[in-house]
């Protein structure tokens, strides 16, 4: 995982933790439904980003006996858990509170004044101060995440941020950007709800906007769930497969290729497999000289009294032919793999199988 994503998560956790405390205190003091839903929203953001950070740390663990290709996909599991679990819980709690607040309309008096350190302060001013601080903190977190997001977007050749949200290979960064953007938007909704309730004296505005905040959480839960789930169902890497095709087509030794497949383990690790058929002249050209050289070397390792044994000469020549052919084939495959990894650095493991040698008759 890139350092920028981790930094964005840490800043988001810190900002949301502070904002959560302020919102809960303000909600308890003023009785605002919007403020309480914002507090729930920020608490879920904090917990969710804690899960994102745990996923980042887990994904950086190296390969071991149990996880042959590393722990990269654990990041998506933690992200998926946070998206479906925490956001759904947050949305459910928010909707439930809005529902209860609606049914309590007219049965309780609105809190007009809050006592702080012996001073009587209008409740609306407490809400304004808390919302202002929250906008500054969450706005800063949003700017940090957006800078990293835009940098990644441009590096990947995208110009449309909305499109990149659904196609980015880093759902952790996408989650932070969406959470921070929705957090800022939620604050604006809370401000509107509290402001309209204050201006009109009708608390239904506060409750209605609190329900909108809860609905936002539900939307983000579904989107992030989809964004992470697609990396847990053996998604292919079109860029890696295209790189393989371009490399193979540019090498004269390869007559044809087929059955190219890939699996994305995480955004930094793709497994690629493919089959090729080599041209006859790529293997045969200069092969006899190599066979003769290996035959001479092998004969030198045989004691003089054993060189006259029946069949030893045929055995040595056959072994030299096999060794020369295998080494020629391996050198071609190694060059292909190296070139593929240069074009698609995310390919961490590539397996290219030689299905055979295309004879002149097959090529016609």
Q: How much is the pLDDT for 350?
A: 92
Domain shared by 259 and 162, yes or no: no
Determine the average pLDDT of the residues in 298-312: 75
Question: 353: left (phi > 0), else alpha (psi -120 to 50), else beta?
Answer: beta
26 with 61, same domain?
yes
Same domain? 205 vs 274 = no
Strand partners, 113: 122
pLDDT over threshold 80, residue 166:
no
Looking at the fold, whether 221 and 272 belong to one and the same domain comes out as no
Helix (H, G, I), strand (E, B) or coil at 53: helix
Question: Are residues 192 and 74 located together in one domain of the fold?
Answer: yes
Least confident span in 80-94, 161-175, 272-286, 335-349: 80-94
pLDDT band for position 1 (cuts 50, 70, 90): very low
* Residue 288 structural domain: 238-363
Counting runs of H as helices and runs of E as strands, what totals does the chain give?
A: 13, 5
Residue 4 has pLDDT above 70, yes or no: no
- In this structure, the answer to whether residues 49 and 177 fall within a common structural domain is yes
What confidence category does residue 3 fall into, taking pLDDT thresholds of 50, 70 and 90? low
How many angstroms separate the CA atoms of 249 and 29, rounded? Answer: 70
In tens, the pLDDT along 13-55 reads 888 888 888 888 888 777 777 777 778 778 877 887 788 788 8
pLDDT given at position 249: 92
pLDDT of residue 2: 47
Burial class (CB in 10 A: 0-12, 13-18, 19+), 211: buried
Cα separation of 342 and 333, whole Å?
A: 14
Q: And the tokens for 31?
A: 């009785």
C-alpha 333: how far from chain center: 30
pTM: 0.61
- Give residue 93's pLDDT: 76
The whole-number pLDDT of residue 86 equals 64
Tell me, yes or no, whether 228 and 255 share the same domain: no
Q: Grade residue 163 by pLDDT with cuts at 50, 70 and 90.
A: confident
- Average the pLDDT over 202-223 and give the result: 82
Domain count, the chain: 2
What is the per-residue pLDDT for 114? 57
Dig out the tokens for 201 from the structure.
């004296």
Q: 217 and 307 in one domain?
A: no
State whether 243 and 348 are in the same domain: yes
Distance CA 184, CA 178 (A): 10
Q: Which of 280, 286, 284 is nearest to 255 (CA)?
A: 280
Residues 148 and 11 in one domain: yes
Residue-wise pLDDT for 229-269, tens only, equals 777 766 788 889 999 999 999 998 999 898 899 988 877 78
Which of these three, 187, 203, 232, is where a domain ends? 232
Among residues 206, 232, 258, the one where a domain terminates is: 232
Question: Residues 155, 248: one domain?
Answer: no
**Do 188 and 320 have their domain in common?**
no
CATH number, domain containing residue 172: 1.20.1510
Q: Domain end: 176, 206, 232, which one?
A: 232
Residues 207 and 195: their CA atoms lie apart, in Å, by 12
Task: Work out the burial of residue 224: count CB atoms within 10 Å of its CB; fewer than 13 is exposed, 13-18 middle, 19 or more buried.
Answer: buried
Q: Helix or strand or coil: residue 193?
A: helix
């Amino acid at each position: 995982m890139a350092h920028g994503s981790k930094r964005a998560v840490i800043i988001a956790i810190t900002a949301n933790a502070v904002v959560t405390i302020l919102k809960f205190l303000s909600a308890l003091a003023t009785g605002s439904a919007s403020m309480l839903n914002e507090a729930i929203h920020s608490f879920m953001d904090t917990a969710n980003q804690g899960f994102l950070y745990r996923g980042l740390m887990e994904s950086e663990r190296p390969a071991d006996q149990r996880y042959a290709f590393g722990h990269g996909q654990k990041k998506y599991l933690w992200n998926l858990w946070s998206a479906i679990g925490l956001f759904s819980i947050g949305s459910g709690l928010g909707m439930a509170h809005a529902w209860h607040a609606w049914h309590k309309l007219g049965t309780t008096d609105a809190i007009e004044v809050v006592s702080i350190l012996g001073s009587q302060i209008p409740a609306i001013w407490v809400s304004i101060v808390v919302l202002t601080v929250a906008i500054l903190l969450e706005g800063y977190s949003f700017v940090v995440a957006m800078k990293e997001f835009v940098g990644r977007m441009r590096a990947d050749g995208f110009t449309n941020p909305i499109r990149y949200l659904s196609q980015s290979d880093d759902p952790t960064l996408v989650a932070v950007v969406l959470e921070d953007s929705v957090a800022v938007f939620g604050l604006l909704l809370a401000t509107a709800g509290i402001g309209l309730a204050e201006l009109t004296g009708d608390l239904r505005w506060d409750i209605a906007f609190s329900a909108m905040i809860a609905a936002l959480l539900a939307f983000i839960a579904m989107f992030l769930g989809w964004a992470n789930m697609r990396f847990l169902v053996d998604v292919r890497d079109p860029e890696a497969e295209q790189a393989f095709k371009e490399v193979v087509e540019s090498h004269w030794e390869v007559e044809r290729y087929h059955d190219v497949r890939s699996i994305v383990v995480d955004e930094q690790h793709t497994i690629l497999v493919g089959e090729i058929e080599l041209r006859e002249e790529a293997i045969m050209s200069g092969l006899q000289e190599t066979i003769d050289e290996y035959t001479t070397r092998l004969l030198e390792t045989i004691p003089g009294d054993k060189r006259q044994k029946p069949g030893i000469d045929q055995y040595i020549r056959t072994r030299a032919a096999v060794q020369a052919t295998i080494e020629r084939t391996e050198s071609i495959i190694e060059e292909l793999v190296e070139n593929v990894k240069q074009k698609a650095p995310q390919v961490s493991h590539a397996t290219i199988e030689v299905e055979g040698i295309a004879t002149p008759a097959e090529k016609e």
